[in-house]
Amino acid sequence: MKTPTLTLAMVLCAGTAMAQTTVQSCDREVTFDAPPERAISNDVNLTEMMLVLGLADRMVGYTGISGWNKLDAEMTAGVAALPELSAQYPSREVLVGADADFFFAGWNYGMKVGGEVTPETLEPFGMQVYELSESCSHIMAMEKASIDLMYNDLLNLGRIFDVEAKAEALVEGYRAELAAFTADLDIGDPLRVFVYDSGEDAPFTAGRYAMPTALIEAAGGQNVFDDFEKSWATVTWEEVVERNPEVIVIVNYGEVTAAQKRDFMISNPAFADLDAVKNDRFVTLEYVEATPGPRNIGAVQTLAGAFWSE
């Protein structure tokens, strides 16, 4: 029988609940000597990742939800015992004031490049940061978006909080559910799909590095802006018209409803010749479905149903 090799970290942490753990967070390695006990998550999708891993009792609050989104009953119940510390992006003072030891956020998901809340600005206060994988394109080179990015975040959170077995079981279940669904999917040539997030003067959309690109491909479509070297960003309506989408995916959140966004496109003569408008082919995803998180698998099923129901 081969004797297991002990790493230095395991020796140093002998007798403790968890050996020292290091995870990759964008272009950084982050090492945890013990699981965080006073965590804060930003945004609805990141918070839901914490909840599905059963980590609500390790949290002191959440930020960045009510300023843009309304929680459904499931999410409301999940965070019932937690305060929302900031309706939109939190300030450094808010995070420090909560005596947090961990912040789960991302670039343009609670943090901004060069802003007051970054891993570097929080480190002096004893707060470690894990960055949402999809958001890493704002600070480093990345491949095109993949659902694996969401799986990676769940697995890393499992390691960080010492619930690795639960994270692995969740990811295995998501993978199996998606594989079974796509195996039975009867699709034709990839449909041209435009993601309409917001904006009337110029549309805010999902580019190559945003999760909808991966969701659309899994459902048998192609994001018409999958060559746009951005995550979520603004394009022009002229570009949308030129690429002539066959389906328009509306992201539902904020003050302008999905119905209002559809009405804007339907009633605007500039879009009358778009295949999607002519054939009234719109599908709605909630924000929490379109951004990385546990509802991505259901989002693929929603998209596929809209793409191929005819």
With b for 16 or more beta-carbon neighbours within 10 A and e for fewer, the 162-201 pattern comes to bbbebbeebbeebeeebeebeeeeeeeeebbbbbbbbeee
Shared-domain flag, residues 206 and 131: no
Shared-domain flag, residues 217 and 152: no
Q: Is residue 194 part of a domain?
A: yes
Task: Identify the DSSP state of 298.
Answer: H
Percentage above 90 pLDDT, the chain: 91
pLDDT at 2: 40
Q: Is 162 left (phi over 0), alpha (psi -120 to 50) or beta?
A: left
Percentage above 70 pLDDT, the chain: 94
Q: Is residue 1 part of a domain?
A: no
Q: What's the mean pLDDT in 211-240?
A: 97
pLDDT at 6: 42
Shared-domain flag, residues 70 and 218: no
> Is 253:68 a contact under the CB 8 Å cutoff?
yes
Structural domains in the chain (count):
2
Q: Which domain holds residue 167?
A: 10-176
Both ends of the chain: CA-CA distance in Å?
60
Q: Is residue 299 part of a domain?
A: yes
Shared-domain flag, residues 82 and 207: no
Shared-domain flag, residues 93 and 115: yes
* Bridge partners, 221 (sequence order): 191
pLDDT at residue 9 is higher than 90: no
What's the token pair of residue 234? 């603004």
pLDDT at residue 272 is higher than 50: yes
pLDDT at residue 269 is higher than 90: yes
pLDDT at 310: 67
Q: Is residue 168 part of a domain?
A: yes
Q: Residue 40 maps to which CATH number?
A: 3.40.50.1980
Please tell me the distance from the alpha carbon of residue 32 to that of residue 144, in angstroms, as a whole number: 29
Strands 247-252 and 191-196: parallel
Shared-domain flag, residues 106 and 135: yes
Shared-domain flag, residues 133 and 15: yes
Shared-domain flag, residues 14 and 159: yes
Q: Is residue 4 part of a domain?
A: no
Please tell me the distance from the alpha carbon of residue 70 to that of residue 51, in angstroms, as a whole number: 17
Shared-domain flag, residues 90 and 228: no
pLDDT at 184: 87
Shared-domain flag, residues 88 and 14: yes
Instruction: Read off the pTM.
Output: 0.92
pLDDT at residue 91 is higher than 60: yes
Q: What are phi and psi of 298, to 5 degrees?
A: -65, -35
Q: What's the mean pLDDT in 222-232?
A: 97
Q: What's the mean pLDDT in 252-280?
A: 97
Q: What is the pLDDT of residues 274-306, one digit of tens each?
A: 999 999 999 999 999 999 999 999 999 999 999
Shared-domain flag, residues 155 and 39: yes
Shared-domain flag, residues 223 and 134: no
Of the three residues 143, 176, 209, the one that is the final residue of a domain is: 176
Q: At 18, is the pLDDT very low, low, confident or very high (cuts 50, 70, 90)?
A: low
pLDDT at 8: 43
Count of beta carbons in the 10 Å neighbourhood of residue 46: 30
